[in-house]
Structures are given as structure tokens and as C-alpha cells.
């Protein structure tokens, strides 16, 4: 997959290196040529100097063939503008915007743009949005028998009760929706863009993930 990254600070350069190491093609955009030094000499992707919301700059970065875009500049306004251009003008579905003001998250996510706050694991969370197939483990208990995992809900589960994805060894403990988290009830309905946090016995995790996929074909758990 081709990924466009706008912003070559700490997060952007980390994403660039990790995505190229994973075998993806990457173009990194930054208005400051000196910023590309963060990528290191081993970086094999494309470096594009320019303003991230400039259509010609994005085209030079290969956005027309991109499967994802991450906007991780140091400004909320720039990030949301770049994300909207990618989504609305180029039809990119996997778009992630880094935010500094959590209060704006709900607005952005209502526009269909995933947001990631500026926390120490920012780059990891952005990678999960770009590559949802990556395993996402938030916490493991000291005995390594129970884990807390994050899972983005697939579209085929929209409209179902959140309890339908639970098994005897898994429980949904929280749902993040439009930038806010909540404790679900038995009547909580899965909506588009929901991200759930599931406590699971580690031995049951692979079966749980397989169950999420199998419901698309009507197999259930």
C-alpha cells in the first residue's frame, strides 16, 4: 500500500520508517527540507517539500494511488484541512489526523476522519488506523493471562448490539465514539467508526478476532 505522511516531525518520521520497513511505499511531505533528516539514511521512500494541503504537492506525493494518509503536522487546523482534502477531493478512506485539542475530536470524527491525540504512543495508534490488521494490545496483566485490546468495529457489525461480539472469555469494557469513551450497556448499539476495548483471556484472543471476521459471512461466534 502507498501511504502519504504529511509532517516529518518525531511522529511523522517514525511512521515513515516503520511503514517502509513493513514493505509499504511511503511519501513524506514537509515544508522544511531539513526536517527529512529525521528519516535517516536508510529511508527509501519519497521526500516531498511543500505545503501539505496543496493539491499539486499531494499529487506529487502520489496521493492518487494512496491507500492511506496521515496528517501529523504541529497544527490542528492544518491537519484537519489536509485530512479533508484527502478524504473529499481524492477519496482516501483511511485518513488519520493528529490533534492537540481533544475538544475538536468529535467534530473531526463526525466528518469521518479518525483522530489521534498527542500522547506518547501516538505513532503506534496512527499505525493501527492505517493498518487495522495490526494487533493492538493496550494492557497485559502481570501473569500474561488477560489482555485489554483495542478493535475498530467493521462495517458489517453496525446496528448490532455490542454484546453480540462477546464470548465466554471476552468482555467489551469500553466504547470510543466520536472522540469520547463510554461504558457500554447491554443495549448499546454499534455505530460507524466505533472503537471497542475488550478484556480477553489471552488464549481466547485469536478466536475472538476470527469471530469478528466470520460474522461478515453470517457465521457468528
Same domain? 98 vs 207: no
| Interval 31-85: pLDDT, tens | 999 999 999 998 999 999 999 999 999 999 999 999 999 999 999 899 999 999 9
Q: Which domain holds residue 47?
A: 2-130
Give the integer Cα–Cα distance in Å for 189 and 46.
42
Q: Is 50 left (phi over 0), alpha (psi -120 to 50) or beta?
A: left
What does pLDDT average to over the chain? 86
Same domain? 115 vs 173: no
pTM above 0.85, yes or no: no
Same domain? 112 vs 152: no
Edge-first strand listing for the sheet containing 46-49: 46-49, 25-30, 2-6, 68-71, 94-99, 114-117
Please say which residue of 71, 104, 130 terminates a domain: 130
Is pLDDT above 60 for 219? no
Same domain? 71 vs 87: yes
**Residue 94, beta-bridge partner list:** 68
| DSSP element (H, E) containing 73 | none
The answer to whether the beta carbons of residues 154 and 216 sit under 8 Å apart is: yes
If one counts the domains in the chain, the total is 2
Same domain? 27 vs 123: yes
Amino acid at each position: 500500500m502507498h501511504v502519504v505522511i504529511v509532517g516529518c516531525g518525531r511522529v511523522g518520521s517514525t511512521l515513515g520508517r516503520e511503514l517502509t520497513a513493513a514493505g509499504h511505499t511511503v511519501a513524506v511531505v514537509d515544508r522544511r527540507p531539513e526536517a527529512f533528516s529525521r528519516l535517516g539514511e536508510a529511508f527509501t521512500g519519497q521526500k516531498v517539500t511543500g505545503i501539505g494541503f496543496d493539491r499539486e504537492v499531494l499529487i506529487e506525493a502520489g496521493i492518487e494511488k494512496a491507500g492511506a494518509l496521515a496528517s501529523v503536522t504541529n497544527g490542528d487546523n492544518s491537519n484537519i484541512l489536509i485530512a479533508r482534502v484527502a478524504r473529499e477531493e481524492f477519496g482516501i478512506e483511511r485518513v488519520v489526523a493528529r490533534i492537540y485539542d481533544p475538544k475538536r475530536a468529535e467534530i473531526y470524527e463526525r466528518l469521518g476522519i479518525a483522530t489521534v491525540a498527542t500522547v506518547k504512543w501516538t505513532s503506534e495508534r496512527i499505525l493501527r488506523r492505517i493498518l487495522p490488521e495490526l494487533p493492538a494490545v493496550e494492557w497485559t496483566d502481570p501473569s500474561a493471562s488477560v489482555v485489554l485490546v483495542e478493535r475498530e468495529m467493521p462495517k458489517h457489525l453496525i446496528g448490532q448490539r455490542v454484546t453480540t461480539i462477546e464470548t465466554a472469555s471476552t468482555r467489551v469494557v469500553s466504547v470510543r465514539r466520536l472522540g469520547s469513551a463510554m461504558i457500554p450497556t447491554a443495549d448499546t448499539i454499534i455505530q460507524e467508526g466505533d472503537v471497542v476495548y475488550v478484556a480477553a483471556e489471552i488464549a481466547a484472543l485469536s478466536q475472538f478476532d476470527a469471530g469478528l471476521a466470520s460474522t461478515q459471512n453470517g457465521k457468528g461466534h
